[in-house]
Structure 1
Amino acid sequence: IDRPGTNAQFHLVDERIVGHKPASLDFAHAAALPLTSITAWELLFERLGVAAGKRHDPRSLLVIGAAGGVGSILVQLASRLTGVRVIGTASRPETAAWIRELGAHAVIDHSQALPAQLAALDLPPVSLVASLTKTDAHFEEIVELLQPQGRLALIDDPGPLNVTLLKRKSLSLHWELMFTRSLFQTDDMVAQHALLDDVAQLVDNGVIRTTLADHFGTINAANLRRAHALIESGRARGKIVLEGF
């Protein structure tokens, strides 16, 4: 994040922020996992403070933008490793089906009013929100739908947010950036190594799966342009992978 070269053939990487590749996956399917897995894991278990374990949890988690790379892992982790009820958002039939396939208990449309759709569901009230895209567009709705003392975690780069709206309900706001530990060389940087090993074990045990959705072939200028165009279109689901030169 602090130097160019992400499309290079080789990288020098600190061992504290890498883990073992899942034995059950080829390299392309494994490549779809690390960035999104770290982000989703830290957001769910550290920023939102959800406890791992399938114990009873009387809360619902709303994942806005659940069909993307981070959302596709987050839905799996939350539905299979915790007791919260998971509600994902999508705006197309194919992405809604994808989210349900990954374990969401319900899916609503983020192009329509969120509070009204949530009220129609027979699920616990939303106390946790993971906003993965367009947080500024949804911010007032998020404040409205969150239960008092709820938590909002976000990963995008929204425009200015009126955080004073959070005060009345004592809502808390949490940022997640997977690069924080490596950028600042934090004392707990090796936690990312550990969680990636945990994710690899979960994949090998069949608990969660890779979220590779599109394989665009070898790494060259034309395929890089295709991949970037799909991401910029806002219609991508899961992860896009290029492999080999």
Structure 2
Amino acid sequence: MSDASRMAAIGSFGGAPIDDPAALQDVEIAVPELRPHDILVRVQAVSVNPVDVKQRRSLPPSTIPTVLGFDASGVVEAVGPEVSDYVAGDEVWYAGDISRQGSNAQWQAVDERIVGRKPKTLSHQEAAALPLTTITAWETLFERFRLTRDSTGDLLVLGAAGGVGSIMIQLAKALTRVRVIATASRDDSRDWALQMGADVVINHHDLRAQALEVAPDGIDYLFSPHSQGNIETYAAIVAPFGEITAIDEPPGMDLLPLKEKSIAWHWELMFTRALFGYDLSYQQSLLNATAELVDAGTLRSTMSAAIGDFNAAGIREAHRQVESGRMIGKVVVHR
């Protein structure tokens, strides 16, 4: 662009339906200024998550564009004065910070401590599919559930063909000894979950009966992306002293049915570290560990669709696919 202080971005002007022009538009905005620990990344690819859609829908009407987007893979363009881990030219991947400008832009400023080195064996588009879901899955398995390489028992992954489920299955199989029970309701999503490494796939439309059939003594660990209306079922299928981690926030949810079995309930929000400046480098470490697992052939990208149209039209199509509720894996938009 002719003015080095300006850049291209995709902006949203309010919580409009996806086909409304205000939902996503090509805009020109200021290049972000770097904080001391920031790197400036030339974004090459992004993926769209349910949280992107949720954030877009919740925006109030405004004449000032909000730049959405979390997952990104790109190349370091410049670094802040206190950056120690990266230099210009490094290839990186990350999931960003919900309190800052998003990745749907030409350049993005992001704290180096939540950024990892991109896997060498993946393209930018393949890499962009993984960071947010990997952080969510990793924190769930190894912080909330405190699983180790020696952990056994049954892990039930609901919505297993989605972004988080796809990488959670892989991580659990690679780094623990648990049996992974996945849920899916369509043939294509069932096949995908099995490709990711699930030991058993059951239908979430008949969750109670099928879970108890494959795990009659109860589920030890349950990952819940859709908790609304499921608490009674969870109370029935989770073992005494079992554990649940949820990533959604249905209003007015009553957890009392879980008390009789002393079932633990955990929340997982991968943005907590960035929001509170808490132990930021943990996410850098887990992204680097994931990159090593990818490059060793232990983990694979969960990209299932790629859109080579890094502008409002391409991002709009990706949002449309996520909103359909039928996504398998991840949709990526790249240059």
Quick check: 1:154 aligned with 2:251?
A: no
User: Using a 3 Å threshold, how does the CA distance of structure 1 residues 228 and 126 change in structure 2: closer, same or farther?
Assistant: same
Measured against aligned partners, the alpha-carbon deviations of 1:216-236 in whole angstroms (never above 9, x if no partner) come to 112122221211111111100
Rounded to whole Å, the distance in 2 between the matches of 1:160 and 1:23 is 45
The C-alpha deviation readout for 1:169-205, integer Å capped at 9, x for no partner, is: 111110111110010001x210100000000000000
Aligned match of 2:191:
97
1:134-162 Cα deviation digits (max 9, x unpaired): 21132211111000111000112223211
CA-to-partner distance for each residue in 1:79-133, whole Å, 9 max, x for gaps?
1210110001111100000001111010111122x1211232268631110012x
Structure 2 equivalent of residue 239 of structure 1: 330
**Equivalent pair of 1:212/1:240 in contact (CA under 8 Å):** yes
After superposition, the Cα gap between the structure-2 partners of 1:111 and 1:219, relative to the gap in structure 1 and judged at 3 Å, is same
* Matching of residue 10 in structure 1 with residue 103 in structure 2: no
Structure 2 spans left out of the alignment, 5+ residues: 1-97
| Alignment-derived partner of residue 321 in structure 2 | 230
Corresponding letter in the other structure for 2:295? D
Query: Secondary structure of the equivalent of 1:148?
Result: strand
Deviation at 1:9, TM superposition (A): 1.8
Distance across 1 between alignment mates of 2:106 and 2:216: 47
Pair 20,9 (structure 1): closer, same or farther in 2 beyond 3 Å: same
Q: Contact conserved, 1:42 with 1:176, CA < 8 A, in 2?
A: yes
Give 1:45's match in structure 2, choosing from 138, 142, 146: 142
SS at the partner of 1:46? helix
Q: Residue 221 of structure 2 aligns with which residue? A: 128
Name the structure 1 match of 2:267.
175
Task: Give RMSD over aligned pairs.
Answer: 1.4
Specify the SS of the correspondent of 2:173. Answer: helix
More strand by share: 2
AA in 2 matched with 1:216:
I
> Which has the larger displacement, 137-146 or 192-201?
137-146
The amino acid of 1:149's aligned partner reads: F
Q: Which residue of 2 is the match for residue 115 of structure 1?
A: 208
Q: Which runs of 5+ in 1 are unaligned?
A: none
1:42–1:178 contact (8 Å) kept in structure 2:
yes
Q: Is the 8 A contact 1:69 1:211 kept in 2?
A: yes
Q: TM-score, normalised by structure 2?
A: 0.69
Q: How does 1:22-41 map to 2 (within 5 A)?
A: 22-41=119-138
Could you list the per-position Cα deviations for residues 25-57 of structure 1 after superposition, in whole angstroms to 9, with x for gaps in the alignment? 111101111111111100111011111x2x361
Task: Identify, as 1 or 2, the structure richer in helix.
Answer: 1
Q: Who wins on radius of gyration, i.e. which is larger? A: 2
CA distance 1:24–1:5, change in 2 (3 Å): closer
**Cα gap change, 1:212/1:100 in structure 2, threshold over 3 Å: closer, same or farther?**
same
Greater RCO structure (CA 8 Å; 6+ sep): 1
> What amino acid is the match of 1:176?
E
Runs of 4+ in structure 1 deviating by more than 4 angstroms, as ranges, are none
Report what 2:166 is aligned to: 72
Is the 2:231–2:257 contact (alpha carbons within 8 Å) kept by the matching residues of 1? no
Is 1:191 the counterpart of 2:282 in the alignment?
A: yes
Normalised to the residue count of structure 1, the TM-score between the two structures is 0.93
Cα–Cα, structure 1 residues 26 and 149, in superposed 2: closer, same or farther, change >3 Å?
Answer: same
- 1:86 aligned residue: 180
Identity %: 47
